[in-house]
Chain A
Amino acid sequence: MNSATVKRFIAVALAPSLILYSLFVFVPVIWSAYYSLFNWSGIGQAAFIGLQNYKELLSDSIFWHSLGNNVIFVLASVLGQVPLALLLAIILYKSNALQRFLRAAVFMPMVLSTVVIGLIWNYVYHPQIGILNFLLDALNLSALKMEWLSDPDIAIFSLIPPLIWSFVGLYLIIFISALQNIPGELDDAAKIDGAKGFTKLFKITLPMIWGTIQVALILCIAGSLKSFDLVYIMTRGGPAHATELLATYMYNATFSTFRYGYGSTISTAIVIISLLLIGTSQWLTSRRK
């Protein structure tokens, strides 16, 4: 096969998914950017108002607060999920019975629907019958008891453990498969050269799976930027917008206050912010190579 036919084959093979992707991702993104220039309640006439929505967005304190919460979520995932998953993967990547059991246990929340996870953690944090407060009582730590989800100062942080817990399994699996792909010869070579423990980890293991870590970081950032379901189930963005994320705020603006135009403005802002963040993270990690 010459290179032209190879190229054509690649084009034909990619076409179906590319068409689907543009139809269901690109087109809506562009439509939503278009709607963001209107004042529209969803019913009746939409009025063109230019960049008015964007002006409002920039001075909207709830929007900035939601963005701040999203940043907390991104940091918590990047600094919580990825290192934790990596650590677990390094401990659990061989396959004896205990390790298999632990792997399954860590992966388990991934199979649960977010609704279930949200409900479980709601009961953990429940103000009257919550397990967490009972546990603190039992440990004589009653002073640490809090209104986990209804105190606006701590509610957003209470959402982080369920967030990490629910996704760590995914990264664990990704890292384990990456670790298992490191050729055995490298191990032998390291042994001969006398590299052990941390030296081996930092000089061989991590560089070998750096590409995977990069992918995991991007998945992690993109995932936590669009997180919605967990917050919607657990707090609905409340109390008083304390746990509002960009996505929940967008949903509320569109479907609770019926400002489709403003909701579209928020979604367009989400797209821009995600591209910026992912671009930055790729730039940062690629320099390490």
Chain B
Amino acid sequence: MFKAAKLGLVGILIVVLLAACGSNSSSDGSTNQSTEKITLTIWNNWSGQDAKAVAMRKILEDFQSENPNITLEIEALATDGLKTRLRTAAAADEMPDLFVMWPGAMTKEFVQGDLLQPINEFLDQNAEWKNNFIENALVDFTVEDNIYSVPMNLAPSSLLYYNEDLFKQYNVKVPTTWDELLQAVDTFNANNIIPIALGNKANWVAQSTTFSTIGDRVTGTEWFLKAVDQNGASFTDPEFIEALKLYQELGEAKAYQEGFNSIDENQMLQLYTQGKAAMVINGGWAVAGLVNTASEEILNATNITILPTVDGGKGAAKTTAGVVGTGLGVNKKLSGAKKDAAMKLFYALAGPDGQKATLESSTLISYNLELDPSKANPLFIKLTELMKETKIVPVYDSKLSSAAVEAINNGLQELLLGGDPEDIAKRIQAAQAGAVN
């Protein structure tokens, strides 16, 4: 009896395995039948449940059904995973046809590795589209007069989200100066509310969402760009050490909840959406997640502002760290009908319709398009209003070499645990100098 059951099980397994193999081979067969068919691979980071990812997946689906002769092979990965995957594929020279690509350092490196083809011609054919991008939107995708992509969103990385109800309840002023921020921290701590939620396990969070702006406030953008080029400024300069000390002060004031280095960005937002934290500092991208996950009550109480000013700092006041958003890289090897198909998909995703869909998914764009207030979430309207009067300064990880980014990310974890600012500055300087020279 048992034996029969076992045999049956084995039989089922074999059938399932064969079926799995079979479906593979049949799909291979169908592509061979007609030569007209084109297969496009596209790698992206639209894997989540946030409104932006959902909107992008919808465009891909629509494109697929409208173009039956084009087969899309879509791979969606989490952001960190995609970045690693792209690097690995680049090392093996096996890039996908289209892929989500970051402006600045990554674009430059891929161009140097001869992996991308410029899209100048395509942009010029669609001049109206090209001219509708905001000022300087294409700069970080341009290498030596060749434009390699266009931004599909706009990512201020450093905004202060706060819960107005909690601020009113404890009679706290929304901080516009550093001292007010420290005061707010003290008051919330005294009342057992987490002042600022932080999830810094993936260690870019503190750097990208908070320290980039604080650094700019203290040192000014000009100094930072010089230090990046290692030309006339160094990360061991007193102004940078002052910025590190200032940030350490925030940590010592217990601005963050216990164990902030062991939870991730999602859990950080959870602390805020559960009403346990009064503030959270995160990028503009967080709105697309908040509108989908936070309760009505929290969402209505949430407001957005920029980080407070720093007395005596050299940086401009109404700024936030950030970057024009990701674009799509076009594989150097594409040509002929396959390239035409790829550019068609490019236009569907990053063209006017794609930008509109992105905007409607509560995500900022680097493209001139009016927001329809009746369709948009109130929180997103607040964000767009804020960004109209806020300038973007470079976020550290878009400009620094990967080695220096790793050094500063780990350095900030150490700093918040009481590390020595001067040691940390030395390590960042050594990493950047090693990469530039």
Contacts and interface: CB of A to CB of B under 8 A. Distances in A.
B109 A150 contact: no
Interface in A89-119: none
Interface string B77-89: 0000000100110
Contacts of B115: 43
A21 interface: no
B91 interface: yes
Interface of B is mostly: helix
Given A240-B413, A258-B402, A150 B261 contact: yes
Point out which of A41, A122, A241 has the most chain B C-beta atoms below 10 A from its C-beta. A41
Interface in A142-167: 147-152, 155
Contact of B90 (A43, A128, A235, A239): A43
A107 B13 CA distance: 25
Given A238-B203, A255-B88, A128 B257 contact: yes
A181 interface: no
Contacts of A239: 200, 203, 261-262, 413-414, 417
Contacts of B167: none
B406 interface: yes
Nearest to B411: A240
Contact of B406 (A122, A151, A256): A256
B133 interface: no
Interface residues of B, number: 34
Contact of A43 (B113, B262, B263): B113
Contacts of A148: 259, 262
A260 interface: yes
Interface in B96-152: 109-110, 112-115
Contact of B87 (A126, A149, A252, A255): A255
Given A42-B87, A239-B413, A150 B402 contact: no
A260 B258 contact: no
B276 interface: yes
Interface string B364-382: 0000000000000000000
A61 B385 CA distance: 48
A156 B291 CA distance: 37
B428 to A, nearest CB: 13
Q: Could you say which of A149, A236, A258 has the most chain B C-beta atoms within 10 Å of its C-beta?
A: A258
Interface residues of A, number: 29
Contacts of B109: 41, 43-44
B256 to A, nearest CB: 10
B410 interface: yes
A125 interface: yes
Nearest to B204: A256
A241 B259 contact: no
Contact of A149 (B114, B262, B410): B262
Contacts of B411: 240
Interface of A: 41-44, 122, 125-128, 147-152, 155, 235-236, 238-241, 252, 255-260
29 contacts: A41-B109, A42-B88, A42-B90, A43-B109, A44-B109, A44-B112, A44-B114, A127-B257, A127-B259, A127-B260, A147-B259, A147-B262, A148-B262, A150-B261, A235-B201, A238-B410, A238-B413, A239-B203, A239-B261, A239-B413, A239-B417, A240-B261, A240-B417, A255-B84, A256-B84, A257-B406, A258-B403, A259-B403, A260-B91
Given A128-B257, A256-B84, 9 more contacts: A43-B109, A44-B113, A127-B259, A147-B262, A150-B258, A150-B259, A235-B262, A239-B203, A241-B410
